Chains A and B, each alone.
Chain A
Amino acid sequence: MRLAYSKALVFSLALLPFCWLVYGLLTDQLGANPIESLTRDTGLWALRFLLITLCISPLCWLTGMSYWLRYRRMLGLFAFFYACLHMLLYLGLDQFFDIAEIIRDIKERPFITVGFINFLLLLPLAFTSSNAMIKRLGGRRWRQLHRLSYLAALTACLHFLMLVKADTRQPLIYILLLAILLVWRLIHYRRRLSAPAS
């Protein structure tokens, strides 16, 4: 399959949750509290795409191919896309763009604070995702900057964990997945460090 086609396929797949949510909204299938469903699902998809993006490097190591790297930017930007929707729903339909109320909410409520920090972390990652920005920053500095994605995934999980009332099973599953992805990196990089220079 040609690269353009495979990218188009990944793009379409990544857009499916969005299409499903719009369809569900228009056909009244999101339950009694559609705004809550939309907010929860866009947030979940942002978190899922963050984790999927973090799967790319381990996938390259596993398969011994750097092929998968070509999808990483798109997947990361989809995480940002869903996070933006999530944020807009919160700002618009939860707070109705009442700036004073939003600031108070961010200050007073730890889970909102963490969610907000998460969004701030995603901003530089999204803005430096173009080829031109990679060139301007230089590969090394760009890579260092993009390690923020680990912190972003961590704050996203924490935000989720902090908002559930009693049943922490779901957020804990995401935290476990993230832990695996991070420990994998740790082991991989340590091995590479200790391996004799080739």
Chain B
Amino acid sequence: MWIKKRRPWDLPESEITDHKTYLNRRKFIEGAIGVAALSVMPFGRINAAKGEDFEALSSSAFSTDERLTSFESITTYNNFYEFGTDKSAPSALAADFPDPAKPWQITVDGECDNPGVFDYQEFIQPYTLEERIYRLRCVEGWSMVIPWVGFELSEVLKKAQPNSRAKFVEFTTLYDPEQMPGQRRRVLQWPYKEGLRIDEAMHPLTILAVGLYGKMMPGQNGAPIRLVVPWKYGFKSIKSIVRIRFTEKMPLTAWVESAPHEYGFYSNVNPGVNHPRWSQRRERRIGELLKRETLMFNGYGEYVAEMYSGMDLRKFF
């Protein structure tokens, strides 16, 4: 007999989207349209004094109640090689990114029946934004707790109607050396590419984020829209996405291309599989003095471990 296991995300529809949230969604869209109409700048510079850009976001059952990493740390300690390899370079150089004079477009294509090219506002409009407080574990051995604003990637993917050949989803970052000075040097093969297996991409934990701390996504954190896959190392959560493509073959991702013996396609957080050059057993939570133990799948094992049952995670690192 087939028994359906009840998972944390298997909530009745009424509990997920209540009327209040629905109204908030309308409010957000109205606000966003208003902002867009008032100014040609769809994404204004982040101004902390202005307060929240997104109001009354619904919270998520997936959110952790751990202490949040400060907004300052999240927005000044960044790996975003498109703006330089120094942790402080992105916050120094991406304050005005993306250039409001260059409208942001997102292409959804590949193995699907309903591809399309969307303007940013048009792209996010159909979705209810919520707050997701996730742990983020960098492959370098540090971690943060970040309150993202976003929606599930699966909603976007379903709308595109992937066909039977769609086994993977490939994501591409903007390539524009004028706006992204780090791309003038070939530290990695630009544009940055990432990928997920289709089941990983459809997983309810996987989100597209358009903000954090209730504000529009700062440039250095991957404005205007980025991926967040909390059970994988941070570099899988690709920033400033311009293309989402369904593929039959496993995409060649930026870090795998750069150093295939050090980075794998899956890159699930795994304290048992060390990076060839450093241990992954522990991590330093930004703001804390001593290191803490790294958790399997970054603590999201109960939700995601199933997807990898039977796989040798030493081989598929």
Q: Which residues of A line the B interface, CB within 8 A?
A: 31-33, 35-36, 93-94, 96, 105, 108-111, 162-163, 165-167
Contact = CB atoms under 8 A, between A and B. Distances in A.
Given A32-B72, A32-B73, A105-B279, A167 B286 contact: no
A55 B259 CA distance: 36
Contacts of A96: 290-291
Interface residues of B, number: 25
B290 A31 contact: no
Interface stretch (B81-89, B126-134, B206-214): B81-89
A101 to B, nearest CB: 8
Given A36-B142, A94-B291, A162-B277, A31 B76 contact: yes
Contacts of B142: 33, 36
11 contacts: A32-B77, A36-B142, A94-B291, A96-B291, A108-B274, A108-B279, A163-B277, A165-B140, A166-B188, A167-B81, A167-B187
A109 B279 contact: yes
A176 to B, nearest CB: 17
A27 to B, nearest CB: 15
B1 interface: no
A31 B277 contact: no
Contacts of A105: 279
B289 interface: yes
Residue from B76, B188, B274, B278 having most chain A Cβ neighbours under 10 A: B278
Interface in B157-195: 187-188
Contacts of A108: 274, 279
List 7 A-B pairs, minimum CB-CB distance, nearest first.
Answer: A32-B77, A32-B73, A167-B85, A166-B187, A167-B187, A32-B286, A111-B277
Nearest to A110: B277
Given A32-B286, A94-B291, 14 more contacts: A31-B76, A31-B77, A31-B87, A32-B70, A32-B77, A35-B289, A36-B284, A93-B289, A109-B278, A165-B85, A165-B140, A166-B259, A167-B85, A167-B187
B190 to A, nearest CB: 12
A33 B73 CA distance: 8
Residue from A31, A110, A165, A166 having most chain B Cβ neighbours under 10 A: A165
A33 B289 contact: no
B258 interface: yes
Interface string B38-81: 00000000000000000000000000000000101100110001
Nearest to B140: A165
Nearest to B262: A165
B313 to A, nearest CB: 19
A108 B280 CA distance: 12
Contact of B88 (A31, A35, A111): A31
